Amino acid sequence: MSKASKATLRKFLMERRALIDPKGHGFIRPTKQGRRALGLTQHQIDTLTRRSEGTYQRLESGTWAGPPGDYLRDVATILSLNEQEWTSLCRYAGIGDPPGPLTPASGKQVPGVWQEALDGQTHPAYVTDASWELIAHNPAFARLFPGERVPKNTMRWMLLDPLGRTMLTDWRTAWAPLVLPQLRAALAARPNDPILRQLERDVLADPDCAPIWDDALGHIHPDGDERPLLHAEDGSGWVTMCASEPMAAPGARQIILIFHGGEKRAHARTPVLRAT
């Protein structure tokens, strides 16, 4: 870790540590006179994390190369970090992006302005939470479905709904093998999510999905994919997906669907974009 990185990590942790009242964790401030630092002490964090004395000091000083994610999670919880601060802690500590969300509630809501952003899209667009529950969508997305009846959970619809298997043309080869890995990856990041776990059970109980599950490994997002689709109003064609993640909601996702009718792919030969 560079000298600058160590200084950043130390400043970040000291500031967050100073905001935590020790009394909230059952500690009583000493009564003797003299200057006392604000917030939790390093020793108190060692006590709370049940680690040997000096463990937290190694983290805050930047001398601990690659601290384990579970320890960083314990520290983040004690310091009441939010998801953005949790990401910052992991990066400053040298382990890269977090191994998973800090709390089960993360990725379950997005700022309300996302609805306005979706409404400004001419292409079908929607936002789901980390469990693929539909949060928001625009009118063009609703037009994809018969009677504009949008699915409550897009992952369940893609994998298990009979209508989904009809609309997602060539479902068995063009969709299921590429969608199931997304569910597997989400379960790895959120093993205790009840919605994802129920989806897993239903997938394994399904005679069409279950045989594909074991080989569903590497394709963990659809960004840039072009697949065949039966549009409820515009008929057969191809849809290209642009996927992104609302940064305030790790695990949530925005999908923009660019649909072109006809038998031929529209974006198969589209070049990649680079800064010039």
Each residue's pLDDT tens digit, 158-194: 999 999 999 999 999 999 999 999 999 999 989 999 9
More confident residue, 104 or 70: 70
> What is the distance between the alpha carbons of residues 120 and 32, in angstroms, rounded to a whole number?
62
For 140-146, which contacts have Cβ atoms below 8 Å and span 24 or more sequence positions? 141/257, 143/231, 143/232, 143/233, 144/229, 144/231, 144/232, 144/233, 144/257, 144/259, 145/232, 146/232
Sequence-ordered alpha helix ranges (H) in the chain: 3-18, 42-49, 55-61, 69-78, 83-92, 113-119, 139-142, 154-160, 162-167, 176-189, 194-205, 210-213
Q: How large is the average pLDDT for residues 229-252?
A: 95
Nearest to 232 by CA among 189, 272, 261, 193: 261
Q: Which pTM was predicted?
A: 0.83
> What is the distance between the alpha carbons of residues 227 and 259, in angstroms, rounded to a whole number?
10
Predicted local distance difference test score (pLDDT) of residue 103: 86
Amino acid of residue 235: G
Predicted local distance difference test score (pLDDT) of residue 28: 82
Confidence of residue 29 (pLDDT cuts 50, 70, 90): low
Residue 173: C-alpha distances to residues 13, 75, 165, 169, 208 (Å): 49, 45, 11, 9, 11
Spatial contact of 271 and 142, defined as CB atoms under 8 Å apart: no
Predicted local distance difference test score (pLDDT) of residue 5: 87
Spatial contact of 159 and 209, defined as CB atoms under 8 Å apart: yes
> What is the distance between the alpha carbons of residues 269 and 264, in angstroms, rounded to a whole number?
11
Q: How large is the average pLDDT for residues 197-226?
A: 94
Q: What is the DSSP letter of 160?
A: H
Q: Give the burial class of 180: count Cβ atoms within 10 A of its Cβ; 0-12 exposed, 13-18 middle, 19 or more buried.
A: buried
Amino acid of residue 245: E
Top mean pLDDT of 94-103, 188-197, 198-207 is at 198-207
Confidence of residue 269 (pLDDT cuts 50, 70, 90): low
Spatial contact of 229 and 239, defined as CB atoms under 8 Å apart: yes
CA 9 to chain centre: 24
> What is the distance between the alpha carbons of residues 84 and 199, in angstroms, rounded to a whole number?
28
